[in-house]
Each structure stands twice: as C-alpha cells, then as structure tokens.
Amino acid sequence: MRLSYLTVADFRNVESVHFEPGGRFNLLHGLNGQGKTNLLEAVYLLGSPRSFRTSRLSELVRHGEKQAHIQGTVESGGMESRLRLIIEPAGRKVEIDSKAVHKASELHGKLNSVVFSPDDTGMVRMGPESRRRYLDRAVYMGDIGYLHCWHSYQRILKQRNHLLKSLDKTGLDIWTEKLAETGGEVIERRLRFVAVLDIKLQKYYSTIAGDGELSRLTYHPEGVQSTDRQQIREELLELFKKQQRSDERYGTTTAGPHRDDLQFLLDGRPLKAFGSQGQQKSFVLALKMAEMDNLHVIFGEAPLLLLDDMSSELDAQRNNNLMEFLITRDIQVFITTTERSPALLAAAPHCAVFHVEGGNLTFEGS
C-alpha cells in the first residue's frame, strides 16, 4: 500500500499542506510543536475510524475553523483510489472516489497504517483499559467482523446494566444469555488474534532487541478456558450467573470481556513490573511490527508504518536493527524526528526529507 499524495487543510495547526511522499522512507523533521505528529495523524485518520491521539473530533479542527479536510491518493493492488475526509466537531464524512461512504466497514482496509508513537508505551504501565482499547482496535484492523460483534456486545451490556440498576429485573436472564452469546464471539476473535500476534511478537522482539529475552503476549479471559465459541459462550454464561448477586449489588456487570486484560510478559515476568524503559519500548514496537506483518498477510500488502518521534524512542543499536529490518521490507515508512538525523538518513536509502515548521511542509530532497 502506498500513499502517493496527501492534502491537508485546517487540520490542527495545518492551514494548507500538499504532500507528495516518497514510496519508501519519508523523514519529517522539525522542532517541537511544529506539526509533525499532526501530519502523521492526518495520514492515519484517512484510513481509520478514529485518531490514535483523541476521540474528540473538535480537537482536530483548526482553531477558529468549522471543518478540517484531508484528502489522499492511495495505491493498492495495482489500483488507485481517492479518499476524502471532512471533519466537523459533530461528525465526519468520508468519500471514496467521490462517493459518500456511510458505514465504517466500507472504509475498512482501504488505507491501513500502523503507528508507533511515544504515547504507546504508556499502555504497558497503565490500567487494563488502555490495553483493551489497543486490543480492540488491533483486532478490528484485520477482522472486519469484530466491529459488529463488539458493538452488539456494548449495546447488550448497556441494556443489562440498565436492568441491574432498576427494581424490576424482568428479562434479566434473556439479556444475560445474549451477553454471553456476543461476548463469546468477542473473546473468540480476540483469542485468535492474540495467538497469531504472540508468535510474530517473539520474532520481532529479537529482531529489534537482538537478544534472547522471550517476549509473550497472552490473553486469559476471566472464567474462560476454551477457545471454541460455543464453549466460551457456556463458560461466560456460567461466569455471569456466578457474578449475578454482586452485579445486582453494584448495578453493573462486574466481569466479562469488557473487563478483561492483556498480559505482556518478558521472560515469563510482567513487563510492567520488571521491564526497563527501553525493554518496554522495544516490546511495544515489536508488537506494532507484528501487527504490521499480520495485516500484510491478511491484505496481501504491507500497511503504512508511521514512526513518531523516533529520536527519543530507542538506543542507536536498536534503531539500527529496526532500520536494517525495514530496508528489507517493501513498505512505505513515515518517520518524524526533531533533527535531520544523519545516522537515520545513512540507514534509509532514497529517503525523502521534509521540513515541518509552523504547520507547513517543505520538501528538502531525497
């Protein structure tokens, strides 16, 4: 997949930018607060239902403006398509080849990108919610059916919680069964994804870190041992019934896939407690590489890779390992740094270099 052209208008601090990226490596350098991450965010948003930085659309529109525009030309499978996004605080509109798109599923797979940004490492240290959010987004990227069952689960969960709070509990059993049914599907799809990613993660962690630490990604949904959807459903129903008393007391569903966590392990120990900062960063980066690889297998083409603020992320050795690996892959990469790093430019052949200042972009050569 290649992004061959991008225009951005009234998006964050970007008033108007025309960007013609190179087909392989692109370096966007500039001082702090100039708009580098904003431009990566614009690339990402063009193919995704939501930003990797915020869920509030109003933040994306340039101060004092009513709408932000992002438009891009994507080359994929030998075809070209034009994606257009109009963002307003109240909602977003998407067009593919000048036709309005109303369902998120229609945009799915049109422009895949994987981002690695400094904020991502936070999910190692933060609570389960941030890892769940990561998991849900990552599963959805390669599995279009996931979004549907995830939304159904959320809807049913809301209904059940509403009943748990009310005095009249009529119909609670039916909602509990429905919740177990869709919850079973959510868990099964998550398990399938984690099993694939876990194997890839191990490979990419050694590529980046160059050592023998064993990295693992595991998911143990509460109350569930099986990997078969029917059995998961039964186990989940069992769990909901066991919890019903306390659910009624708290007025909410206290266990289930909406409360589950992902485990990040290094040599069998929790990465959160025992991993150094560099190890945590390498782990998350390896996870992103694994995701990229998985999407490549599913779509037959590598997604775009957006590496935000690379200078601050890894040591020189790990950066080199990463670059050496990326050179061997047919993939379009966007890297932002605060300096026009000579080491990076030496490592990335035919890198197109751009300077970002005050929301403007200038091509400096390749």
Q: Is 34 in the site for ligand ATP (CB under 6 A)?
A: yes
70 and 39 Cβ atoms separated by less than 8 Å? no
- Cβ–Cβ contacts within 10 Å for residue 235, how many? 20
Cβ 259 to ligand ATP shortest distance, Å: 33
Q: Is 338 in the site for ligand ATP (CB under 6 A)?
A: yes
Q: Is 117 in the site for ligand ATP (CB under 6 A)?
A: no
CA-CA distance, 274 to 74, in Å (whole number)?
42
Coil vs helix vs strand at 52:
coil
Q: Choose the contact partner of 34 out of Mg ion, ligand ATP, none; CB within 5 to 8 A by kind.
A: ligand ATP
Among the listed ranges 1-9, 28-36, 170-178, 258-266, the one in contact with ligand ATP (CB under 6 A) is 28-36
The size of the chain, in residues, is: 366
In the bound state with Mg ion, the residue whose beta carbon lies nearer, of 37 and 332, is 37
Q: How far is CA 227 from CA 81, 191, 192, 208, 274, in A?
A: 39, 7, 8, 31, 29
Number of shown-chain residues binding Mg ion (CB under 5 A):
1
Candidates 210, 225, 219, 223; CA nearest to 264 is 219
Using the rule CB under 5 A, which residue among 37, 71, 215, 280 binds Mg ion? 37
- Based on DSSP, count helices (H) and strands (E) in the chain, helices before strands: 11, 15
Cβ 29 to ligand ATP shortest distance, Å: 9
Q: Is 282 in the site for Mg ion (CB under 5 A)?
A: no
Q: Choose the contact partner of 113 out of Mg ion, ligand ATP, none; CB within 5 to 8 A by kind.
A: none
Number of shown-chain residues binding ligand ATP (CB under 6 A):
17
CA-CA distance, 354 to 345, in Å (whole number)?
12
Candidates 323, 300, 309; CA nearest to 1 is 300
Q: Choose the contact partner of 319 out of Mg ion, ligand ATP, none; CB within 5 to 8 A by kind.
A: none
Q: Is 13 in the site for ligand ATP (CB under 6 A)?
A: yes
CA-CA distance, 28 to 40, in Å (whole number)?
9
Q: Choose the contact partner of 30 out of Mg ion, ligand ATP, none; CB within 5 to 8 A by kind.
A: ligand ATP
Q: Is 22 in the site for ligand ATP (CB under 6 A)?
A: no
The neighbouring-strand residues paired with 263 are 218
Cβ 40 to ligand ATP shortest distance, Å: 8
Cβ 291 to ligand ATP shortest distance, Å: 22
Q: Is 76 in the site for ligand ATP (CB under 6 A)?
A: no
In the bound state with ligand ATP, the residue whose beta carbon lies nearer, of 231 and 338, is 338
Cβ 157 to ligand ATP shortest distance, Å: 33
User: What amino acid occupies position 270?
Assistant: P
Using the rule CB under 6 A, which residue among 30, 184, 221, 275 binds ligand ATP? 30
Candidates 217, 199, 219; CA nearest to 266 is 217
- In what side-by-side order are the strands of the sheet with 360-365? 113-116, 304-307, 333-337, 25-29, 352-357, 360-365
The neighbouring-strand residues paired with 304 are 113
In the bound state with ligand ATP, the residue whose beta carbon lies nearer, of 33 and 300, is 33
Q: Which residue reads 């990419």 in tokens? A: 204
Binding site for ligand ATP (CB under 6 A): 12-13, 30, 32-38, 59, 61-63, 309, 338, 356
Binding site for Mg ion (CB under 5 A): 37
